Homo-oligomer: A and B are copies of this chain.
Amino acid sequence: MKALVYHGAGKKSWEEKPKPVIIEPTDAIVKILKTTICGTDLHIMKGDVPTVTDGRIIGHEGVGIIDSTGSAVTNFKVGDHVLISCITSCGKCEYCKKSMYSHCTTGGWILGNVIDGTQAEFVRIPYADNSLYPIPAGADEEALVMLSDILPTGFECGVLNGQVKPGDTIAIVGAGPIGLATLLTAQFYSPSEIIMVDQDDNRLDVAKTFGATHVINSAKENTVEKIMKQTNGKGVDVAIEAVGVPATFELCTDIIGAGGHVANIGVHGKSVTLHLETLWSRNITITTRLVDTVSTPMLLKNVQSHKLDPNKLITHHFRLDQIEEAYNTFGNAAKEKALKVILTNE
Contacts and interface: CB of A to CB of B under 8 A. Distances in A.
Interface in A93-148: 93-100, 102-103, 129-130
Interface string A263-292: 010111111111111011111111111101
A72 B190 contact: no
A77 interface: no
**Copies of the polypeptide in the assembly:** 4
Nearest to A276: B268
Given A281-B288, A283-B288, A258 B103 contact: yes
Interface in A50-86: 71-72, 74-75
A280 B298 contact: no
A315 interface: no
Nearest to A194: B305
Contact of A275 (B25, B244, B271, B277): B271
A93 B97 CA distance: 13
From A24, A266, A280, A299, residue with most partner B Cβ within 10 Å? A280
Interface residues of A, number: 70
A26 interface: yes
Interface string A232-270: 000000000000100001000000001100001011111
Contact of A297 (B94, B268, B292): B94
A290 B283 contact: yes
A167 interface: yes
A301 interface: yes
A259 B96 CA distance: 12
A302 interface: yes
B273 A273 contact: yes
Contact of A271 (B71, B188, B277, B287): B277
A192 interface: yes
B288 A92 contact: no
A193 interface: yes
A92 B129 contact: yes
A106 to B, nearest CB: 8
A10 interface: no
A305 B193 contact: yes
Nearest to A100: B259
A91 B190 contact: no
A249 B97 CA distance: 30
Contacts of A299: 167
Given A91-B130, A270-B276, A271-B276, 7 more contacts: A75-B93, A103-B283, A167-B301, A188-B189, A193-B305, A264-B276, A283-B290
A19 interface: no
A273 B276 contact: no
A166 interface: yes
Nearest to A273: B271
Contact of A270 (B167, B269, B277, B302): B277
A304 interface: yes
Contact of A75 (B92, B193, B284): B92
A271 B299 CA distance: 38
